């Protein structure tokens, strides 16, 4: 299973942390050298300290990354300036949200050349301490681009032949951010993709569940959760490769193994005596040329029943048939590789109890 690369920002929300603990090898985020100081500030971010102790969290700073990455940054900045006026990218004199930190970033998080360029171009404002720049304030659109370039580099860096670290996939809970950096308009090489909703399949601890209990469940039922993720990754691969031949045959070919894996995980969840819910997690799967010929022009979304009654053990909950919902879409080409999967977690208005 790959490593979840959460972005933008350093600290995933609780639901994404639960996802990472149960269904990924680990979670990483782009963080400054002094990330522990930031993590101490809130209860949510302190969860990263606990995950780091368990070997489940990796803070990544791009401070020392090679200068070759700077050319990619300059290219993306030029592209952004072709679509957004420079005036619209200049941050205000004063931080309009003084109590928030969403558009501030520590200079030790990204390569120093990036920060110098932004300051020289007047596209960032500095916050200093002891005559040293420690943080910069940038416009939201520029912040989106910075995190996207950095994250795609980290995905690509982990996928090369000489890579020694974990493979990674990007993951966000911010729908506006996701489409700001992945929308096909304004990007060369945009192509078709499948939007696969697997939210019905994955039981998730209810909001407020003790993180220690989630980590303990991961350890105790490691075989069950790994089997589910293996089947889901295989499903994504087969859909991307063979969807154009006969999508229904592709789905039927994986039904039994995926159904059995989900069923075993549901039994484990029930045995844990924890409260579980099911929510929306969407995988965006790039497709091959053969499959692209089938799904373009955009076809109607459809649901594929798994043939499994999802478990129901929470008070006042309703059992139902697990389904995988698929839709076709277009997405910007990845800077990382053709095999990349991109994940968007959509928090549904009403979680369905598992």
- Residue 237 contacts by C-beta under 8 Å, 6 or more apart in sequence? none
Could you tell me which of 273, 285, 105 has the C-alpha nearest to residue 195?
285
Tell me the residue ranges of DSSP E strands in 44-145. Answer: 57-60, 104-106, 125-129, 132-137
Rounded Cα gap, residues 128 and 136, in angstroms: 9
pLDDT (tens digit per residue) in 228-244: 888 888 887 887 777 66
Two tokens, residue 235: 């499903």
DSSP 293: H
pLDDT (tens digit per residue) in 253-281: 777 888 888 889 988 998 998 988 876 66
Q: What are phi and psi of 51, to 5 degrees?
A: -65, -35
pLDDT (tens digit per residue) in 177-229: 888 888 766 666 677 777 777 776 788 898 899 999 999 999 999 999 999 88
Taking the domains of the chain in order of start, what are their residue ranges? Answer: 68-141, 183-353
Buried-state track 304-313, b at ≥16 Cβ within 10 A, e below 16: bebebebbbe
pTM score: 0.85
pLDDT (tens digit per residue) in 41-75: 888 888 999 999 999 999 999 888 777 788 888 88
Query: How many CB atoms are closer than 10 A to CB 189?
Result: 9
DSSP 258: H
Q: What is the pLDDT of residue 291?
A: 41
Mean pLDDT of 127-150: 84
Mean pLDDT of 318-339: 64
Q: What is the pLDDT of residue 154?
A: 87
Least confident of 81-85, 98-102, 177-181, 210-214: 98-102
Residue 283 has pLDDT above 60, yes or no: yes
């Amino acid at each position: 299973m790959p490593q979840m690369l959460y972005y933008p920002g350093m600290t995933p929300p609780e639901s994404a942390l639960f996802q990472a603990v149960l269904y990924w090898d680990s979670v990483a985020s782009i963080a400054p050298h002094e990330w522990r100081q930031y993590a101490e500030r809130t209860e949510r971010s302190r969860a990263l300290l606990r995950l780091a102790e368990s070997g489940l969290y990796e803070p990544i700073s791009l401070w020392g990354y090679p200068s070759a990455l700077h050319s990619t940054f300059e290219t993306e900045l030029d592209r952004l300036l072709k679509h957004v006026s420079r005036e619209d990218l200049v941050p205000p004199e004063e931080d309009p949200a003084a109590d928030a930190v969403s558009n501030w970033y520590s200079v030790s998080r990204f390569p120093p050349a990036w920060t110098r360029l932004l300051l020289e171009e007047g596209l960032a404002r500095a916050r200093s301490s002891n005559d040293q720049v420690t943080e910069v304030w940038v416009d939201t659109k520029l912040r989106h681009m910075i995190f996207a370039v950095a994250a795609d580099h980290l995905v690509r860096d982990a996928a090369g032949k000489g890579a020694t670290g974990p493979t990674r996939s990007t993951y966000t809970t911010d729908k506006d951010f996701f489409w700001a950096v992945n929308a096909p308009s304004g990007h060369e090489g945009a192509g078709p993709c499948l939007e696969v909703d697997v939210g019905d399949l994955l039981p998730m601890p209810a909001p407020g569940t003790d993180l220690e209990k989630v980590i303990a469940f991961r350890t105790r039922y490691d075989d069950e959760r790994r089997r589910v993720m293996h089947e889901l990754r295989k499903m994504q691969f087969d859909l991307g490769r063979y969807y154009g031949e006969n999508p229904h045959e592709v789905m039927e070919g994986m039904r039994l193994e995926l159904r059995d894996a989900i069923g075993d995980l549901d039994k484990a969840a029930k045995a844990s005596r924890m409260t579980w819910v099911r929510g929306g997690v969407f995988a965006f799967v790039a497709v091959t040329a053969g499959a692209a010929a089938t799904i373009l022009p955009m076809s109607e979304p459809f649901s594929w029943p798994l043939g499994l009654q999802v478990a129901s053990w929470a008070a006042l909950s309703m059992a139902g048939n697990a389904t995988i919902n698929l839709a076709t879409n277009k997405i910007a080409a990845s800077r990382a590789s053709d095999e990349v999967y991109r994940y968007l977690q959509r928090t549904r208005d009403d979680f369905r109890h598992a």
